[in-house]
């Protein structure tokens, strides 16, 4: 059943209002919502590709999708688990394909090293309980790195592989470079560079074009500008945070560049949404009939991996770098503070959401304020895309909430 005409117009009006507010709004947004059957519910582009350009945002605009990469890496890992090449819970997987992890010290205070109390597993990496952190979120990383510093967005794998653990494996949830390590494991287990693995085993079978770590000239020509919002709420264009990847043109350069399983992909949202559609459809692409993952594996992706931490996303500390992330003490506010969880690898709103999303909906985001969700119970998936820093932008987040609500109201209508 399609959206009601009134709901469709409401969504377009909400997006257009957000992008018509100049420096106080969002320069450009793209939004897609689909049924698990593959039926498009709405696709709309609004605004411009940059604050200082008249080039309109359109459905062919390319975005750096940052941590929206993580769910793709998780799918790759789980494909290899299904094939028996990896194990979620055996420490042997890490010992065989990432022995460096087993040799890492733990720095709970950022300064003093201690030994690991238990070995890291692939499940811990996908659930963000392995003990890795991000330098822009956790000040302990900078304390450990000292004057040299760490920058996970340089495309240099040393910024990832040299960092230690900051929590004991399995003891707490912390968002970090876990999926970068998972991507390294995929490469070593498959014998392919991560982008090549994605193309062959995920994107091509789903009929996906223009999702890649190394955008073509056509994708670069359609790239959305990166923006920075200042403390007074004003936007300005800024240099691209992940610009080195955009210069990697030869195969040799691409081979040397770090294939980040945590944040490496660029995409047209109209193509990325096909991945979400397959997950909403229990692992099978409705367009190509390709089974990406078994229904049982998809069920496992949507199982809460951290029931012992029902408030993991509440009372969050201020990020270490406010230019990259706003302080959002509660990641996904819900009335009554019901338990929340983390799957493999996504946030789970275990209780139904105020927008109309059903229980156990999975969602996640990209640093430049991109957000997606997959509601398997109601058979709906969607994505809103922007290129605005810092993360947690009130204008983009508010628009996402409103357009998601309008989707569900349109379905119910």
Query: How many Cα atoms are found within 13 Å in the side-chain-facing hemisphere of 280?
Result: 28
Chain Cα centroid distance, residue 46: 22
Nearest to 97 by CA among 176, 168, 167, 182: 182
pLDDT for the residue numbered 88: 99
pLDDT band at 149 (very low <50, low <70, confident <90, very high): confident
- Mean local confidence (pLDDT), 262-278: 99
pLDDT for the residue numbered 412: 78
pLDDT for the residue numbered 347: 99
Neighbours of 232 (CB within 10 A): 7
pLDDT band at 147 (very low <50, low <70, confident <90, very high): confident
- Mean local confidence (pLDDT), 46-70: 97
- Mean local confidence (pLDDT), 233-241: 96
pLDDT for the residue numbered 146: 87
pLDDT for the residue numbered 214: 98
Of 67, 74, 190, 386, catalytic: 67
Q: What is the pTM of this model?
A: 0.97
Is residue 141's pLDDT more than 90? yes
Strand duo 226-229 + 388-389: pairing: parallel
pLDDT band at 70 (very low <50, low <70, confident <90, very high): very high
Of 70, 104, 193, 378, catalytic: 70
- Mean local confidence (pLDDT), 201-210: 98
70 labelled catalytic = yes
- Mean local confidence (pLDDT), 283-305: 98
Instruction: Please count the residues of the chain.
Output: 413
Is residue 1's pLDDT more than 80? no
- Beta pairing partners, 365: 371
Nearest to 321 by CA among 220, 391, 249: 391
pLDDT band at 150 (very low <50, low <70, confident <90, very high): confident
pLDDT band at 148 (very low <50, low <70, confident <90, very high): confident
Query: CB burial class (10 A; 0-12, 13-18, 19+) of residue 376?
Result: buried
Strand ranges in 284-359 using DSSP code E only, listed in sequence order: 341-342, 347-349
pLDDT for the residue numbered 413: 67
Distances in whole angstroms, Cα of residue 157 to Cα of each of 152, 193, 356: 8, 13, 41
67 labelled catalytic = yes
pLDDT for the residue numbered 117: 98
pLDDT, mean over the chain: 97
Is residue 109's pLDDT more than 90? yes
Nearest to 308 by CA among 163, 173, 158, 412: 173
Of 175, 197, 272, 408, catalytic: 175
pLDDT band at 81 (very low <50, low <70, confident <90, very high): very high
- Mean local confidence (pLDDT), 187-205: 99
């Amino acid at each position: 059943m399609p959206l009601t005409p009134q709901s469709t117009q409401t969504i377009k009006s909400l997006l257009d209002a957000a992008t018509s507010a100049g420096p106080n709004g969002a320069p450009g947004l793209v939004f897609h919502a689909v049924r698990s059957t593959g039926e498009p519910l709405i696709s709309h582009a609004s605004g411009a590709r940059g604050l200082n350009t008249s080039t309109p945002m359109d459905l062919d605009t390319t975005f750096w999708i940052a941590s929206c990469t993580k769910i793709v890496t998780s799918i790759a890992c789980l494909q290899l688990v299904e094939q028996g090449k990896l194990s979620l819970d055996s420490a042997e997987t890490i010992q065989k394909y990432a022995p460096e992890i087993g040799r890492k010290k733990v720095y709970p205070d950022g300064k003093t090293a201690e030994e690991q109390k238990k070995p890291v597993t692939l499940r811990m990496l996908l659930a963000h309980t392995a003990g890795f952190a991000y330098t822009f979120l956790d000040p302990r990383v900078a304390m450990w790195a000292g004057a040299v510093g760490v920058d996970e967005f340089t495309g240099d794998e040393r910024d990832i592989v040299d960092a230690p653990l900051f929590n004991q494996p399995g003891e707490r949830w912390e968002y970090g470079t876990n999926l970068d390590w998972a991507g390294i494991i995929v490469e070593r287990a498959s014998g392919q560079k991560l982008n090549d693995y994605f193309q062959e085993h995920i994107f091509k079978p789903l009929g996906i074009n223009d999702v890649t770590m190394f955008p073509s000239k056509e994708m670069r020509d359609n790239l959305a500008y990166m923006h920075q919002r200042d403390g007074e709420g004003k936007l300005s264009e800024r240099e691209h945070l992940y610009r080195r990847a955009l210069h990697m043109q030869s195969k040799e350069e691409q081979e040397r560049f770090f294939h980040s399983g945590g944040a490496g992909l660029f995409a047209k949202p109209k193509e990325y949404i096909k991945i979400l559609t397959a997950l909403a459809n229990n692992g099978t692409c409705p367009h190509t009939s390709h089974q990406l993952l078994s229904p049982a594996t998809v069920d496992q992706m949507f199982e809460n991996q951290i029931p012992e931490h029902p408030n993991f996303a509440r009372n969050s500390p201020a990020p270490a770098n406010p230019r990259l992330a706003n302080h959002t003490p509660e990641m996904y506010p819900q009335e009554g503070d019901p338990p929340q969880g983390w799957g493999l690898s996504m946030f789970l709103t275990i209780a139904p959401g105020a927008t109309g999303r059903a229980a156990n909906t999975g969602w996640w985001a990209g640093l430049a304020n991109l957000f997606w969700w997959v509601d398997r119970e109601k058979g709906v998936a969607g994505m809103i895309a922007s290129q605005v820093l810092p993360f947690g932008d009130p204008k983009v987040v508010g628009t996402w909430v409103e357009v998601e609500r309008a989707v569900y109201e349109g379905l119910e209508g």
